[in-house]
């Protein structure tokens, strides 16, 4: 059983959660959750294409999908690279010399993360709808 749709739908929920995090001022969590949604969108596309993706870094996943499925995705590399930066630092205080993650992330960071995630979602959605 291929569960690509479960991954995709959870990505949608994660992206909606990122928007709620912005509304409540949790900008570090909005960045992280937008990144998580993108990972789930890419893993959903990978499953849809019968490509097994492991790990958490978005850039390598995108490159694997692009290479194996011969899908042009270079335009998404900057979005993926930005979102990859939100995997660890958004959650752990010891990443910074002082302070906690919430001291370092702004509403602009969170909005940019959501825009990046929306670009990745749109790419995955277009490809799945064209093939399906």
Whether the per-residue pLDDT at 2 is higher than 90: the answer is: no
pLDDT at 132 over 70: no
pTM of the model: 0.95
CB atoms within 10 A of CB 78: 12
- Each residue's pLDDT tens digit, 20-33: 999 999 999 999 99
> pLDDT digit string (tens) for 65-121?
999 999 999 999 999 999 999 999 999 999 999 999 999 999 999 999 999 999 999
CA distance 33 to 48: 22
Q: Alpha-carbon dihedral of residues 74, 76, 82, 86, nearest 10 degrees?
A: -120
Q: Is the pLDDT of residue 131 over 90?
A: no
Determine whether domain 4-131 maps to CATH 1.10.1740.10: no
């Amino acid at each position: 059983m291929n569960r690509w749709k479960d991954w995709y739908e959870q990505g949608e929920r994660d992206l909606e959660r990122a928007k709620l995090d912005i509304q409540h001022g949790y900008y570090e969590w909005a960045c992280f959750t937008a990144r998580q949604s993108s990972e789930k969108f890419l893993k959903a596309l990978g499953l849809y294409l019968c490509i097994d993706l492991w790990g958490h870094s978005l850039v390598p996943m995108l490159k694997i999908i692009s290479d194996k499925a011969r899908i042009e995705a270079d335009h998404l590399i900057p979005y993926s690279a930005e979102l990859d930066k939100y995997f660890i630092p958004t959650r752990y205080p010891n990443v910074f010399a002082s302070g906690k993650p919430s001291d370092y992330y702004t509403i602009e960071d969170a909005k940019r993360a959501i825009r990046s995630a929306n670009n990745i979602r749109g790419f995955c959605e277009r490809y799945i709808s064209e093939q399906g």
